[in-house]
Chains A and B, each alone.
Chain A
């Protein structure tokens, strides 16, 4: 692309249908915000289902909640909040043009996300060993409630959909890490980190709602 503009040289990731890099950045950011709205609506359906069933069977929710391990849930909450901090630090590093710190912070974020998923894996497999499966496969006698399967169906669906989002986020973080190691990002161009960061904060916030709704019911 010809350098016809006197004031700025375009990044190699500049797309020709934009007027300048600022427009490209603002556009990508707005697009991600709108996408996050769709995510909230999608989880909103599950939260609505949660509200309905909790109103119908309040006893069930307090009983079944005791089967969930509050300690490991709490650890996971801290892990995810920590990863939100590191992704924010990656963005700050990019703004300050500290290219090495971008990669370090992205690496920590990726590792924390992996820790979250490992803990989640052990939580789920522990329940499977007890016979706590979703829906019609539910086979656990420890809860005195005939609809106990509904609680765990919701639990698996909501944490499962959230887990899928964490996995997608890990894929994105890995891609960003690869790009930052290839020196793609600097203070002029860090759009992918910024918008992936937005996505990651949403994943974090959804967990912050899921944790008390399932683990901390009294």
Chain B
């Protein structure tokens, strides 16, 4: 039945208040148990947890690679590993962090768990594709590991031709692995867009959609539009190596700059795949902990879409010195500046949300404050790099490395950590040690700045990225940076320690420990297998902190197997009848 049929007459319906349980007997973790139930689950919550475990694992692998790189750069010449090994390690660091950690981290891990809860849905639109997405991710990761063990790769994560089409090693295998991971990403994107369009609970109109969902929507649009281009690019690169098709190899009449166009047509939007979901986390956390309606709801929601749109028009800024037409460079430079507008809109709106809020400085919010400072630096240095004349000087130096890490680690990882801390009680049913969380946040913030601020300086003085040897004048910067990376690593280990510890000894979490108005907090902790025992009825937006909690705990009674018939009903607020308990 379509809702359109019923719009003529609005029936009065009984809407009850259902207070969520703090410690329900049955929840998604104990209704189905055993390893097999995890491996074959189509439950978005379990898939989300599996993704979270997998991305955490690869984050640590990539992190170890980063520490090896930093340790090797302690001295200007060889410190402890060979130059060729060094090349392979920094390639792995980049490829693992980008394809196996950053891209799936927020959407596939947190998004999978939270999105259906925020929509009032029992699951994502295509649960089996969701599971397939996880296995494609794992398969791609195994193929990538296989490539590492069988020759390795030394091209950097960008796989630039003609070097990548002629160098030895297992580039073809690695590219095939990334190709498979790309499909995982595409499936997540298709699934989320469809879910947001079709699976929203009664009453949940677009203007009541949470900003995390909006950001996942924007991210998914980028995923479905950009990732297929990466797929075909990598397929062409593979064919170049196997058949010598000569599309990219200038020796055979091909065009290496065409590869760069293709690659960055994906990979520039891809950096927004990595950061935009982080923006969504920021919006959620900032309202919850300032007890205040988000400032500029539509501005934040639409600026995510604006970023998604502009992201497709800026790829040429990676190729200012690659021989593209100077007119093209000017246009791309100008368009790149435009990215600053929606991003700035977000920053100002978040800050305005804090203004006169009753701020509760819990650890998730502390991570968000870290995000603000680091992401601001990352964003503004992006504007610097988008200026053609400056970029000619800064191109391929540590300045670019520092900029990218300020956005990706300072922005994305901080937002991810904020999200993990924020939703940890809902996901695991446990509270972590708040004091340790704040200390770890401080250590990460300090360690991060010690690592990457010196890289801005040495980059602007001309230290090229990816070099094994460097001239001695840069040694102090490199050593400070290396020390910082150890501090940063320590901070991440600490987070890992207290989060895992909380699983065993942590205090049991209540259903809504932060007093949030968002829908995912109005259900039991831990959530039921099918999310909602009672079909949620949404009358208020997720940020309406000026309204009492009872108005957010509304639902329609339904038979136990979870089939509602509410779609013929039009829900109006005058039709609701709150039975206070």
Contact = CB atoms under 8 A, between A and B. Distances in A.
A41 B193 contact: no
Interface residues of B, number: 51
Given A2-B559, A135-B239, A45 B190 contact: no
Contacts of B233: 45
B198 A26 contact: yes
Contacts, number: 144
Interface stretch (A98-106, A122-130, A149-157): A149-157
B244 A135 contact: yes
A30 B126 CA distance: 11
A38 B564 CA distance: 33
A31 B191 CA distance: 7
B228 A31 contact: no
Interface stretch (A17-25, A71-79, A108-116, A167-175): A17-25
A52 B229 contact: no
B232 A46 contact: yes
Contact of A27 (B122, B125, B229, B565): B125
B563 A45 contact: no
Nearest to A45: B232
Contacts of B240: 135
B548 interface: no
A76 B559 CA distance: 54
A121 interface: no
Given A22-B2, A30-B197, A150-B254, A49 B247 contact: yes
B252 interface: yes
Given A2-B559, A19-B564, A52-B255, A134 B227 contact: no
A52 B562 CA distance: 55
A190 to B, nearest CB: 18
B547 to A, nearest CB: 27
Contacts of A6: 565
B233 to A, nearest CB: 6
A19 B122 CA distance: 10
B229 A4 contact: no
B567 A20 contact: yes
Given A38-B224, A136-B246, A49 B258 contact: yes
Contact of B194 (A34, A42, A49, A161): A34
B567 to A, nearest CB: 5
A147 B565 contact: no
Contacts of A27: 125-126, 194, 198-199
Given A34-B194, A150-B252, A19 B566 contact: yes
Nearest to A21: B1
Interface in A37-54: 37-39, 41-46, 48-49, 52-53
A27 B559 CA distance: 23
A136 B254 CA distance: 12
A53 B258 CA distance: 10
Contacts of B127: 15, 17
A162 B258 CA distance: 22
Interface in A41-91: 41-46, 48-49, 52-53, 56-57
A146 interface: yes
The majority secondary structure among interface residues of chain B is helix
A38 B567 contact: no
B561 interface: yes
B90 to A, nearest CB: 27
B245 to A, nearest CB: 4
B243 A137 contact: yes
A41 B233 CA distance: 11
Interface in B176-216: 186, 189-191, 193-194, 197-199
B123 interface: yes
A153 B245 contact: yes
B236 interface: yes
Contacts of B34: none
Interface in A183-199: none
B561 A2 contact: yes
Contacts of B126: 27, 31
A137 B122 CA distance: 54
A146 B194 CA distance: 49
B229 A135 contact: no
A153 B565 contact: no
A140 to B, nearest CB: 15
A56 B458 CA distance: 42
B246 A135 contact: yes
Interface in B17-35: none
B562 A135 contact: no
B224 A37 contact: yes
Contacts of A136: 243-244, 246, 252
B253 A147 contact: yes
A157 B567 contact: no
A87 to B, nearest CB: 22
Nearest to B194: A31
Contact of B232 (A20, A42, A56): A42
A157 B236 contact: yes
B225 interface: yes
A45 B565 contact: no
A42 B228 contact: yes
B227 A38 contact: yes
A182 interface: no
Contacts of B2: 22
A134 B243 CA distance: 7
A191 to B, nearest CB: 12
A178 interface: no
B229 A42 contact: yes
A170 B391 CA distance: 51
A41 B194 contact: no
B430 to A, nearest CB: 27
B122 A38 contact: no
A19 B201 CA distance: 10
A94 B566 CA distance: 28
B351 to A, nearest CB: 35
Interface of A: 1-2, 4-8, 10, 15-17, 19-20, 22-23, 26-27, 30-31, 34-35, 37-39, 41-46, 48-49, 52-53, 56-57, 134-137, 146-147, 149-150, 153-154, 157, 161
The 3 A-B residue pairs with the shortest CB-CB distance in the complex, in nearest-first order: A136-B244, A45-B232, A42-B228
16 contacts: A4-B561, A10-B563, A30-B194, A30-B198, A34-B190, A38-B190, A38-B224, A38-B227, A46-B232, A46-B236, A49-B247, A57-B253, A135-B239, A137-B243, A150-B247, A153-B246
Given A17-B121, A34-B190, A34-B224, 12 more contacts: A7-B1, A7-B565, A23-B198, A23-B567, A27-B198, A30-B193, A38-B224, A42-B228, A44-B232, A45-B233, A49-B247, A154-B247
